[in-house]
């Protein structure tokens, strides 16, 4: 058993926190608590997973497993009877979370607000679930606690008294977020209510966390705040600089909400750190970032979980405490690395079935990790619920309402076989995305075929099906599937136009009313008709044009077929049809690579970097372009940037090995090739290069012989 490195561990989750917002605030001295934590520890990006949906991601953080293993696949799920749907629950998790493993090893945990964690598990410690902090009804009406929201249950009344209701807040609480709050017409503009609700819920989580930290004996505390994500979805559109289409009056009123939300979290962090003490190891992270600059989407499609398109692929990671390096950066951290890191801090072995690795570079003296096959095979009291545990249906209904308000769930999803079928299909689609992101297109394919067959008008299903077929080398099938996507799009737009025509006919018909005034906030009949006509013109224009995404995906299939010239033509067609399509520069660069037009490839990748410097595939492409131009140091630097952003990237590790080998660094080259093979077994050229390195430079003939043997087996080249 390895040595225990941490007396205590505090894990703080800030959903959607992003360095692009944090860094200017820290530079201005406006987030002193986080600044102090960064200065006495390590910081860096943390790579999210696909799909970037919070309940899936926070479960991966807590377990070290991807969603196909841990079983949380959506925001909602069918109920046990199969008659309707409900919010995803902690009982849906199929594997142990950190607090379950710690429970088996005699360690006490506090878990506050984790998503999803309802109903509270009977761990040795305190658990307050993600249903606890959601306010219902006006402040003067009863606000009962949801059954199962608190463990131990004897603390229910105490935690009920700690809650903060939005209606308890005064202008003094709101003015730091909206200085002109007194001028808001709350009958027409409900954004102020959203601000109050988000503040109150965060304060409630914070009250529960600080009480548990101060009043109980604990080894591990995990606290999750969702407020930054809510501030982002509600107000990032108003964040400076002002974007086209944002009314100036609303921009001026709400432009400070996001920054104020971050500063609020910094104040809460200050209290957590004071309670934890300097002998506690602190990890602060987010599950993904949030676009705050020119990459903010101008609009969202009409599809489930569309708000997730506002998320950025990289969140924040900070770690500080005894034995942790000070004021340094770490690279290549993934959400999947958090659970192995916490286990290592407690001197516990890591499950070999976990998908991540401990962040060893964070330590002054990196520990030697220990391993067991799986924590799932270890018996003992893990503090989980027995099979068949149920929760409060009323709590589930309230949680569903809030998911609808956030835009993650469509209105009306609830009871009936049609809703169950739709949610099941969407969950299987998300599972397919997990498989694709982990390089398993064969496992994704049947799920995508079933989803697209059931709903051929769902473009997102069809395009992922095209991707899976392309990755499997079934290019003719991919082209046919893409044609079906276009047919489904035509059918969907035709239906929408028909519905608008019907609505216009009703709107323009004579009204049998007494001329009564319209309620505040409602459109007049003339305004509604004008809105419908504008909407119809937009849809008609869309129907008359081939979408840029169609050309883009056609180009991807052609590129995979080796038809680089045809792919270039498709990408240029997409470029002509789209105002902003940053992925195109990446694909143009890849087409130029295939044509061995190295300088043009490099130019395309550098153009992509100018749009977004945090795309791993861009740095990998740039590395290859520089390699082929014999600019070895530039190639190595670009490859290091790629794996620094996303560690699970076998092609980038391979190119890093190529560059280092030619630069005369055989040991580092061998390490890069070994990582590439660990991530993608069967890279024949990696075995070839390793055989040469071990034979001619590193004096390890046995390894050289083994890699030479593997290189001669039937395996795909790099």
As a whole number of angstroms, the distance between CA 597 and CA 603 comes to 10
DSSP 517: P
Domain boundary among 377, 393, 420: 377
Give yes or no: residues 415 and 274 share one domain: no
Residues lower than pLDDT 70 in the chain = 1, 388-415, 508-523, 577-581, 714-718
Domain boundary among 554, 588, 613: 613
Does residue 320 contact residue 12 with C-beta atoms inside 8 Å?
no
Cis amide bond preceding 51, omega within 30: yes
Give yes or no: residues 331 and 449 share one domain: no
| 1 belongs to a structural domain | no
Does residue 221 contact residue 11 with C-beta atoms inside 8 Å?
yes
Which domain does 472 fall in, by range? Answer: 410-508+526-540
Give yes or no: residues 596 and 500 share one domain: no
| 340 belongs to a structural domain | yes
Give yes or no: residues 689 and 557 share one domain: no
Give yes or no: residues 578 and 688 share one domain: no
Give yes or no: residues 454 and 560 share one domain: no
Classify burial at 503, counting beta carbons within 10 Å of its beta carbon; exposed 0-12, middle 13-18, buried 19 or more. middle
Give yes or no: residues 112 and 237 share one domain: yes
| 575 belongs to a structural domain | yes
As a whole number of angstroms, the distance between CA 86 and CA 397 comes to 7
Name the nearest CA neighbour of 204 among 135, 274, 136, 275: 135
* Number of domains forming the structure of the chain: 4
The CATH code of the domain that includes 340 is 3.40.720.10
| 256 belongs to a structural domain | yes
| 519 belongs to a structural domain | no
Angle, CA of 170, 171 and 176, to the nearest 5°: 120
Give yes or no: residues 142 and 263 share one domain: yes
Rg (CA), the chain: 27
pLDDT of residue 394: 41
pLDDT of residue 598: 97
Give yes or no: residues 144 and 285 share one domain: yes
pLDDT of residue 136: 80
As a whole number of angstroms, the distance between CA 605 and CA 602 comes to 5
| 384 belongs to a structural domain | no
Give yes or no: residues 191 and 260 share one domain: yes
Give yes or no: residues 608 and 650 share one domain: no
Q: What is the dihedral of CA 151, 154, 156, 162, to 10 degrees?
A: -100
The DSSP bridge pattern shows strands 76-78 and 41-47 to be unpaired
Give yes or no: residues 199 and 342 share one domain: yes
| 402 belongs to a structural domain | no
pLDDT of residue 195: 97
Does residue 370 contact residue 4 with C-beta atoms inside 8 Å?
no
| 187 belongs to a structural domain | yes
3-class SS of residue 325: coil
Domain boundary among 356, 377, 398: 377
The DSSP bridge pattern shows strands 371-372 and 333-334 to be unpaired
The CATH code of the domain that includes 423 is 1.25.40.10
Q: Tens digit of pLDDT for each residue in 44-103? A: 999 999 999 999 999 999 999 999 999 999 988 877 777 778 888 899 899 999 999 999
Residue 613 phi/psi, 5-degree rounding, is -80, 0
């Amino acid at each position: 058993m390895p040595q225990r490195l941490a007396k205590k561990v505090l894990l703080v989750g800030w959903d959607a926190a992003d360095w692009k917002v944090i860094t200017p605030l820290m530079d201005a001295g406006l987030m002193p608590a986080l600044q102090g934590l960064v200065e006495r520890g390590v910081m860096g990006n943390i790579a999210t997973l696909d799909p970037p949906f919070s309940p899936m991601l926070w479960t991966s953080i807590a377990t070290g497993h991807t969603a196909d293993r841990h079983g949380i696949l959506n925001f909602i799920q069918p109920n046990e009877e199969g008659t309707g749907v409900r919010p995803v629950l902690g009982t849906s998790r199929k594997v142990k979370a950190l607090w379950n493993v710690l429970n088996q090893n005699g360690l006490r945990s506090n878990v506050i607000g984790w998503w999803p964690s309802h109903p509270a598990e009977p761990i040795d410690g305190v658990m307050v679930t993600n249903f606890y902090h959601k306010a219902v009804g006006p402040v003067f009406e009863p606000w009962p606690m949801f059954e199962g929201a608190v463990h131990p249950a004897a603390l229910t009344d105490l935690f009920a008294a700690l809650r903060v209701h939005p209606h308890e807040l005064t202008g003094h609480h709101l003015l730091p977020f909206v200085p002109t709050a007194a001028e808001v017409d709350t009958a027409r503009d409900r954004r102020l209510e959203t601000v109050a609700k988000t503040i109150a819920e965060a304060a409630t989580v914070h009250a529960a966390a600080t009480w548990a930290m101060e009043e109980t004996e604990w080894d591990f505390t995990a606290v999750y705040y969702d407020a930054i994500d809510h501030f982002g979805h509600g107000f990032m559109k108003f964040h400076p600089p002002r974007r086209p289409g944002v009314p100036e009056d609303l921009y001026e009123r709400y432009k400070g909400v996001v920054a104020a939300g971050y500063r609020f979290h910094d104040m809460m962090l200050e209290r957590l750190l004071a309670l934890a003490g300097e002998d506690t190891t602190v990890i602060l992270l987010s599950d993904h970032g949030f676009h705050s600059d020119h990459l903010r989407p101008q609009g969202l499609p009409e599809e489930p979980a569309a708000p997730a398109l506002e998320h950025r692929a990289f969140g924040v990671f900070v770690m500080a405490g005894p034995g942790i390096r000070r004021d340094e950066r770490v690279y290549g951290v993934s959400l999947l690395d958090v659970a192995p890191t916490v286990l290592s801090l407690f001197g516990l072995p890591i499950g070999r079935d976990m998908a991540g690795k401990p962040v060893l570079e964070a330590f002054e003296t990196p520990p030697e990790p220990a391993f067991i096959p799986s924590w799932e095979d270890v018996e003992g009291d893990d503090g989980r619920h027995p099979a068949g545990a149920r929760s409060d249906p009323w709590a589930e209904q309230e949680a569903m309402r809030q998911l609808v308000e956030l835009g993650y769930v469509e209105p009306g999803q609830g009871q009936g076989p049609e809703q169950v079928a739709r949610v099941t299909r969407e969950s299987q689609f998300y599972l397919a995305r997990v498989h694709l992101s982990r390089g398993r297109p064969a496992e994704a394919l049947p799920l995508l075929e079933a989803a697209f067959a059931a709903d051929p008008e769902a473009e997102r299903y069809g395009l992922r099906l095209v991707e899976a077929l392309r990755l499997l080398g079934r290019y003719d099938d991919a082209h046919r599937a893409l044609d079906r996507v276009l047919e489904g799009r035509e059918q969907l737009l035709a239906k929408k136009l028909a519905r608008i025509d019907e609505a216009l006919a009703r709107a323009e018909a004579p009204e049998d009313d007494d001329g009564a005034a319209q309620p505040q906030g409602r459109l007049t009949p003339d305004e509604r008709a004008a809105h419908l006509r504008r909407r119809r013109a937009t849809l008609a224009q869309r129907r008359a044009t081939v979408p840029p995404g169609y050309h883009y995906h056609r180009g991807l299939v052609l590129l995979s077929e080796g038809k680089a010239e045809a792919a270039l033509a498709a990408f240029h067609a997409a470029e002509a049809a789209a105002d902003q399509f940053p992925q195109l520069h990446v694909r143009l660069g890849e087409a130029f690579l295939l044509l061995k037009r190295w300088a043009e490839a490099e130019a395309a990748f550098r153009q992509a970097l100018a749009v977004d410097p945090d795309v791993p595939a861009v740095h990998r492409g740039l590395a290859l372009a520089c390699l082929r131009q014999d600019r070895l140091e530039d190639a190595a630097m670009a490859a290091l940037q790629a794996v620094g952003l996303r560690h699970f990237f076998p092609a980038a590790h391979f190119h890093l090995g190529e560059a280092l080998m030619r630069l005369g660094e055989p040991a580092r080259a061998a390490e890069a090739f070994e990582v590439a093979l660990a991530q993608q077994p069967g890279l024949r050229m990696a075995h070839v290069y390793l055989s040469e390195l071990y034979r001619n430079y590193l004096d390890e003939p046995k390894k050289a012989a083994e890699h030479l043997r593997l290189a001669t087996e039937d395996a795909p080249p790099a």
